[in-house]
Amino acid sequence: MASTTSRGFPPIAAPDARLLILGSLPGQVSLAQRQYYAQPHNAFWRIMGELFGAGLDVPYDERAERLRLSGVALWDVCKAAVRPGSLDASIDLNSVITNDFKRFFRAHPGIVHVCANGGTAHRLYLRRVQPVLPEPTSSLPLHLLPSTSPAHASLRFAQKLQRWRLLEELLAA
């Protein structure tokens, strides 16, 4: 089966962002709708609703603005990659092109924490991004959070939300 390359989105980020949430690569529903985490069963926006008032009951552009106003930036590790379907396990690692994090961190010098939405984003950042970043950016704390994907069903929503509350603590510090 031939696969085409999926291309990610620009970051959602204000210049004064303090925390960066990283996904891996938008899934098929997100690509079709041109919105981060558009898959209706993904818990991301439900969690953002609990934490920052940026839930699914709010139009997408306003959700993005509420994240920016909260000091939260959102982006993906992959600028592009081949992935048939939407599962992170299907990403062809040999095809991954990472986003330009050197430029991103220069434009957002206030970021003091990076949070990975799931294991794939965490691994890709550790292997493909962090080693090429200059100090002190390469030493920013990296926090692994449970994936909000419906494919990550080992935790219930309340358990995921509890772990994601770390964002509130990091932003309050």
Q: Please pick, among 42, 94, 99, 117, the residue that the annotation labels catalytic.
A: 42
For residues 34, 41, 113 and 61, what is the CA-based torsion angle, rounded to 10 degrees?
Answer: 40
- Tokens 């550790």 -> residue: 126
Beta bridge partners of 20: 73, 114
Residue 2's contacts (CB-CB under 8 Å, 6 or more residues apart) are none
Alpha-carbon gap, residue 90 to 38, rounded angstroms: 19
Tell me, yes or no, if 94 is annotated catalytic.
Answer: no
Catalytic site positions: 42
